[in-house]
A and B are shown apart, each in its own frame.
Chain A
């Protein structure tokens, strides 16, 4: 882990112009992960900057996951779940929404740009939307530049 961390950080510092952000995506198993699958099977291209982590529900994503991802070399984090009302567990995404709303406020109060934490709703049928979200998030994080905090 330490190794990956240092390589990630030196890589970023070395070359800022050709900066390729590392983005960790926490994808809900029931919607977004399937949506990403659909994007793949439909051969829709999208940036490879995102590393997907499959989670049972966006409500499962602990704030510490996000913080730890940033700490260990990610430049941005995307949490993606089902549309409101569609949660496989009825309400997980509602809790997640509040949690990350507050976490973004904590980030901005403590001096981390809250835009590094992105959240999206993307259903299993929205392969094209997924590709578009990833492109959008990658662009945003690229603009923000490498994350050098924590």
Chain B
């Protein structure tokens, strides 16, 4: 990634940005970690490979410095949502675009006992969101480094298996989710890692009234996660960070994707972050919205 290093160096030397947010290598899986580069001589550390799993856009809000940031195609959608929500103006950062042909699944890497990244990333080791990726190259980049990746046929469906899973009856589903959430340890990593969770005071902080009781109990965890699904409705860009961060492997994206699927059906094919001009569904309305359920 010689070009990335050169461009980053140039930006810092010319004082165009204060910090370059990218990836550097690490001895531990997934063999990279976020890097905050402030000195031109440190730019040599920058890498980009199939282990660059982190969604760095999470660091932009409240950074207080002018950054240049390496953003993959899928993550750029988050920046669009933040812009639509007036949280992050487009000119507050420089977007370094890359071509990404898929990222590893950190968990599979650990389980397989790999001591370095595979040379060629196979579909088995790939994160499942990458198997149906339709945005390999970062759109709207200020600087694009490296070669553009040719788009590949998706290997799976975006919403594969959801209809079958949610065909279970309510009791089974309720039982399933309370059981899954009973192992939640309320570390809030799913919230904190999310590029779209920017509330300065999360509703889970509020204790007068206490909307979301904090003690770890099946129902409280269920409630917290229900609230998070609500927060992500129509906004989730499916970057997969919440699931990657979860220390107890809660399949959060199953829920987020289900709602995204429904929203896509209801609101004229809306997909979060795909189109700057199309407002997020809960910020907007249409007089002809379906009203079947209304008495």
Indicate, yes or no, whether A interacts with B.
yes
> In the complex the two chains form, is B266's CB within 8 Å of A113's CB?
no
B230 contacts across to A, CB distance below 8 A:
63, 102-103, 106
A85 contacts across to B, CB distance below 8 A:
287
* Given A95-B282, A111-B176, A112-B174, A106 and B226 contact (CB-CB distance below 8 Å): yes
> In the complex the two chains form, is A110's CB within 8 Å of B226's CB?
yes
Q: How far is the CA of A114 from the CA of B169 in the complex (A)?
A: 12
Q: How far is the CA of A85 from the CA of B287 in the complex (A)?
A: 8
Q: Does B229 contact A (CB under 8 A)?
A: yes
Q: How far is the CA of A122 from the CA of B83 in the complex (A)?
A: 37
Tell me, rounded to whole Å, the shortest Cβ–Cβ distance linking B283 to chain A: 9
Which of B203, B226, B291 is in CB contact (< 8 Å) with A97? Answer: B291
> In the complex the two chains form, is B289's CB within 8 Å of A94's CB?
yes
Q: Does B258 contact A (CB under 8 A)?
A: yes
* Interface residue SS majority, chain B: helix
Identity of the chain B residue whose Cβ is nearest the Cβ of A115 in the assembled complex: B293
Tell me, rounded to whole Å, the shortest Cβ–Cβ distance linking A132 to chain B: 9
A77 contacts across to B, CB distance below 8 A:
none
Q: Does B263 contact A (CB under 8 A)?
A: yes
> In the complex the two chains form, is A110's CB within 8 Å of B229's CB?
yes
Interface string of A55-85 (1 = CB under 8 A from B): 0000000011001100100000000000011
Q: How far is the CA of A145 from the CA of B222 in the complex (A)?
A: 21
> In the complex the two chains form, is B291's CB within 8 Å of A84's CB?
yes
Can you report 29 A-B residue pairs in the complex whose CB atoms are below 8 A from each other?
A: A64-B227, A67-B223, A67-B227, A71-B223, A84-B291, A85-B287, A94-B289, A97-B291, A98-B267, A99-B282, A101-B290, A102-B259, A102-B266, A102-B282, A103-B230, A105-B258, A105-B259, A105-B262, A106-B226, A106-B229, A106-B255, A108-B166, A111-B177, A114-B293, A118-B295, A119-B295, A121-B294, A149-B174, A150-B223
Q: Does A104 contact B (CB under 8 A)?
A: yes
Q: Does A48 contact B (CB under 8 A)?
A: no
> In the complex the two chains form, is B287's CB within 8 Å of A94's CB?
yes
> In the complex the two chains form, is B289's CB within 8 Å of A101's CB?
yes
| A interface with B by C-beta (< 8 Å) | 63-64, 67-68, 71, 84-85, 91, 94-95, 97-106, 108-114, 118-121, 133, 136-137, 149-150
Q: How far is the CA of A64 from the CA of B103 in the complex (A)?
A: 36
Q: Does B79 contact A (CB under 8 A)?
A: no
Q: Does B172 contact A (CB under 8 A)?
A: yes
* Given A109-B173, A111-B170, A98 and B262 contact (CB-CB distance below 8 Å): no
Q: How large is the interface on B (under 10, 10 to 19, 20 to 34, 35 or more residues)?
A: 35 or more
> In the complex the two chains form, is B285's CB within 8 Å of A91's CB?
yes
Give me 10 other A-B pairs in contact (C-beta within 8 A), A110-B177, A133-B295 excluded: A64-B203, A67-B227, A101-B293, A102-B259, A102-B263, A106-B259, A109-B255, A110-B174, A120-B294, A150-B223
Q: Does B242 contact A (CB under 8 A)?
A: no
Q: Does B234 contact A (CB under 8 A)?
A: yes
Q: Which of B149-205 touch A at CB < 8 Å? A: 166, 170-178, 203
Q: Does B59 contact A (CB under 8 A)?
A: no
> In the complex the two chains form, is A84's CB within 8 Å of B173's CB?
no
Tell me, rounded to whole Å, the shortest Cβ–Cβ distance linking B151 to chain A: 31
Q: Which of B252-295 touch A at CB < 8 Å? A: 255, 258-259, 262-263, 266-267, 281-282, 284-287, 289-291, 293-295
Q: How far is the CA of A91 from the CA of B234 in the complex (A)?
A: 19
Identity of the chain A residue whose Cβ is nearest the Cβ of B166 in the assembled complex: A109
Q: List 7 A-B pairs, minimum CB-CB distance, nearest first.
A: A111-B174, A111-B173, A94-B285, A120-B295, A105-B262, A109-B258, A111-B170
